[in-house]
Structure 1
Amino acid sequence: MTSSVGSSVASGASQAWVALGADSSLLDRVSYGGPSGGLPARLPVMELARATVAVCSLAAAELTSLRTGRPVPRVRVDDEAVAAAFLSDRLVRVDGRAWSTFAPLSRFWRAADGWVRTHANYPHHRARLLAALGVPGDAGEEAVDAVDAVDAVARAVAGRPALEVEEAVYAAGGLAVAVRGPGEWAGTEQGVLVAERPLLTAARLDDAPHRMLADAALPCAGLRVLDLTRVLAGPVATRTLALLGADVLRIDAPQLPESQEAHEDTGMGKRSATLDLADATGRRVFEELLHEADVVVTGYRPGALDRFGLSPEALAGRRPGLVIAQLSAWGHDGPWRERRGFDSLVQAATGIARLEGSPDAPGALPAQALDHGTGYLLAAGVLRALTEQQRTGGTRLVRLALTRTAHWLVHDLAPAPGENDGFDAGRRLTETDSPMGRLRHALPPVAYEGGPVNWARPPGLWGTDAPVWGGA
């Protein structure tokens, strides 16, 4: 089936395309179709998903045109492929085994005056949550104690106001957010700042000469991407750049735990290594990698990497002509800028959980759509920065935040007509052999005429690759 899916789809894509600073006439190259019932929600989640995949695909097609000298290829956005990709973390299997995306202590809790959402997937976040609430530190560390830990946290939260829990847990380095309505969030200082910001920002930092890209069939062929991101939006963006031909090397600190299961979803096409940037040897190796990099993508709290010389200004000084892409949960300014955050917490803080819930309890979006949508926007921002860099040079900076994507979803997007229930994720899944076993995963939704249909390599074991570029 071929359809424009109504003017609201074009509106969503056009809003994002304008935010990317692109030529609006290229939107005529995009068509839409396919079953569209895969992301049912009260908010226009399918609209967000279509729009973000559309602009990412179109940005890839635009850069392909620049590198081949041919007209911009046509882009096809298939709703079924888009929905399956937004659910990819839930659909991935290894030898038929699924994994739980949320730990037992990552959930909603009833507080004395409302609700609180916590995130405790990582052991250090769980430990900090328990410490902040006065729950014995060994609770929940063994499977037999999981129920006791849940009961203990429930009792601790139930006796306190939601905002008090939020502040206590964040003060301890954990993650907890009071569930707010849209109006409550809009009245906070952080909410006011987010509402004033554009969907994304793209800036030219200097007049560095551009490095001419050679002719290539894939838009990111020959480009080297340093991936300093963690679940989920940043890895989705770099997974997409890998699909489009980039040599993507993910770098993590060896002391920070990571989920192998999450990497099986978002590590497609990449390699993964660990480096301790606080160690002289690790820092030297990183600087050697940076010297050959074309793109650096970071997904840590604003300022968290500055001590390693990874602020945009410091990077531009050492490697002029980079494309630097930065992602945060709450935004790059304001009182919440240094807080840790995840999709589920942003949903709770910004009013989405209240809008998607019932009178009895908060709800959630049908997928971690803020993460996935922001990931495709981030990839689109990198692609557009590369295109503009080829035209006029300069070190480029792209910034996005989950809260700004949430604001776009709640306030600026309209539901698209033509939703139906013909969605079948199975049609958009494939299997391949991997170091972990037989891997089932969603196919990429980013598509244009002549473009790649799958990643060139499956993910491997997290953190086990050598910290060298693929061609080295």
Structure 2
Amino acid sequence: MDNTVRTGTELLWSALGGDPALVDRVSYVGPSGLLPARLPVMDLARATVAVAGLAAVEREGRTGGVRVDDGAVATAFVSERHLLVNGRAPVNFAPLSRFWRASDGWVRTHANYPHHRRALLDALGAQGTVPAPEKAVAAVAAAIAERKAVDVESAVYAAGGLAVAVRTPEQWAASGQGREVAKRPLLTRERLDDAPPRRRSGPLRVLDLTRVIAGPVATRTLALLGADVLRIDPPGNPELPDQHAETDIGKRTAALDLDSPSGRRTFDELLDAADVLVTGYRPGALDRFEPHRPGLVIARLSAWGDYGPWAERRGFDSLVQAATGIALTEGSEEKPGVLPAQALDHGSGYLLAAAVLRSLTEQDRDGGTRLVRLALAQTGHWLTHTLPGYEPERYLTETDGPLGRLRHALSPVSYEGGPAGWSRPPGLQGRDDPTWLRA
């Protein structure tokens, strides 16, 4: 088993508080070279899926192993690209969701939802182009080209839209939000009280208040494992149809106006009977709907974290990649790039599902209301700073000899009890005697 794969799984399982011995149950198979990138995306994908499987077998008390197939993992991490609805492929990014050249760099926008599209156009003075998509693209391009990237970011967010300036890793690390992310763990798990263990009859009940990819992947995974997942969306702002088709498999979905008295009563009744609440809106947006329920497992997912100057900002995977330096790491001199999958979304989804399952396992044993918090920016930081990537220095050594000090590659041929390296360095060319060594 690849040491990087094992290390990634071990790191995540440790962050989840799992028994280290269980990591030995994981096996990795399948084709190699999938999800190629400069950053170790495939290792992130394998590890997050592995801990979701480990958390499931632990909770169910199974004694067997967890099999992680690279082919299945890579396909699942780009599952939205494989979706067909009656033979029709979905549009995963709307025309106004893309990189734009600013006067001093690049901006990334997200405008898949109609209200975000309107806010973007309003902020850039392009409201009149709404009926004509091609004119909207031209108008947005022209407006952004005249402004600094951070000015576009500020204006669009102030209008309720979504845009971020593309930053280098160093610029992100020096920013207020970047510093806050760097000093925190990948995820936090808290016990809020001493509520007794819950007595459950029937399937696990999961109330799902998430959208787009990360949160829905987490709840889709819980549904796969037998949970009764009920997703709630506001009546006037449903999930995009293709997103629903892709991420709501295994679930039931309902429209509920939480601002109406009847809708709030229904929601409170659902929450009273729920075992798990998963939320994926910006921090604080649902606080008034989350009164304390003893014995509940609460899982909160956000883009940037519920701390720092960006605590109340909305965000998506593509924007987090742009802001944190990932886009420039994966790009070229001509233009920022992207990861081969929306790996922050998918990885966070499987990791959140694992955190929920581990919290339920601990709650069954020790009781207590449980809170799990995870942010896409934290997953991005783990990918870029914690998960071991390809570092050639790890596979190099230095040897002294007649030619001086040589730095050279270690042999890739390695086995237990085998040689760690060569028995002699290269000598001066042509200076050895033309004889065999004596036995």
Compute the TM-score of the two structures, normalised by the length of structure 2.
0.87
Residue aligning to 2:281: 300
Residue aligning to 2:434: none
CA distance in 2, matches of 1:257, 1:345: 22
Residue aligning to 2:370: 396
Residue aligning to 2:188: 201
CA distance in 2, matches of 1:193, 1:49: 25
Listed one character per residue, the Cα deviations across residues 49-98 of structure 1 (whole Å, up to 9, x for unaligned) are 00000000000010010xxxxx5321000000000000101111112110
Residue aligning to 2:115: 124
Listed one character per residue, the Cα deviations across residues 352-383 of structure 1 (whole Å, up to 9, x for unaligned) are 00000000100001111100000000000000
Residue aligning to 1:151: 138
Residue aligning to 1:434: none
Could you tell me which of 75, 87, 100 is aligned with 1:84? 75
What amino acid maps onto 2:88 in structure 1? Answer: R
SS in 2 for 1:93: coil
**1:238 equivalenced with 2:219 (yes/no):** yes
Residue aligning to 2:345: 371
Could you tell me which of 306, 324, 327 is aligned with 1:350? 324
CA distance in 1, matches of 2:222, 2:260: 29
CA distance in 1, matches of 2:168, 2:390: 24
Residue aligning to 1:449: none
CA distance in 2, matches of 1:287, 1:200: 28
**1:247 equivalenced with 2:228 (yes/no):** yes
CA distance in 2, matches of 1:64, 1:183: 44
Cα offset for 1:258? 2.0
CA distance in 1, matches of 2:238, 2:204: 28
What amino acid maps onto 1:116 in structure 2? Answer: V
Paired residues in the alignment total 391
CA distance in 1, matches of 2:79, 2:22: 29
CA distance in 2, matches of 1:147, 1:260: 23
Residue aligning to 2:156: 169
Percent of paired sites with the same residue: 67
Kindly indicate whether the alpha-carbon contact (under 8 Å) linking 1:116 and 1:179 is maintained by their aligned counterparts in 2.
yes
CA distance in 2, matches of 1:412, 1:250: 33
CA distance in 1, matches of 2:365, 2:64: 19
Cα offset for 1:37? 2.8
**1:108 equivalenced with 2:82 (yes/no):** no
Kindly indicate whether the alpha-carbon contact (under 8 Å) linking 1:186 and 1:192 is maintained by their aligned counterparts in 2.
yes
CA distance in 1, matches of 2:259, 2:34: 44
CA distance in 2, matches of 1:396, 1:408: 23
How much is the aligned-residue C-alpha RMSD, in angstroms?
A: 1.2
SS in 1 for 2:309: coil
Cα offset for 1:256? 1.4
Could you tell me which of 24, 33, 43 is aligned with 2:39? 43
Residue aligning to 1:62: 58
* Alpha-carbon spacing, 1:416–1:247, altered in 2? closer, same or farther (3 Å): farther
CA distance in 2, matches of 1:377, 1:43: 19
SS in 2 for 1:177: strand
What amino acid maps onto 2:239 in structure 1? Answer: E
What amino acid maps onto 1:356 in structure 2? Answer: E
Listed one character per residue, the Cα deviations across residues 337-364 of structure 1 (whole Å, up to 9, x for unaligned) are 1001000000000000000000010000
1:190-229 pair list within 5 angstroms: 190-213=177-200, 222-229=203-210
CA distance in 1, matches of 2:19, 2:170: 35
Q: Which has the larger radius of gyration?
A: 2
SS in 2 for 1:211: coil
SS in 2 for 1:411: helix
Cα offset for 1:302? 0.7
**1:12 equivalenced with 2:8 (yes/no):** yes
Listed one character per residue, the Cα deviations across residues 208-232 of structure 1 (whole Å, up to 9, x for unaligned) are 0001456xxxxxx611000000111
CA distance in 1, matches of 2:351, 2:302: 13
Cα offset for 1:416? 7.0
Compute the TM-score of the two structures, normalised by the length of structure 1.
0.81
Question: For structure 1, which runs of at least 5 residues remain unmatched after alignment?
Answer: 66-70, 215-220, 418-472
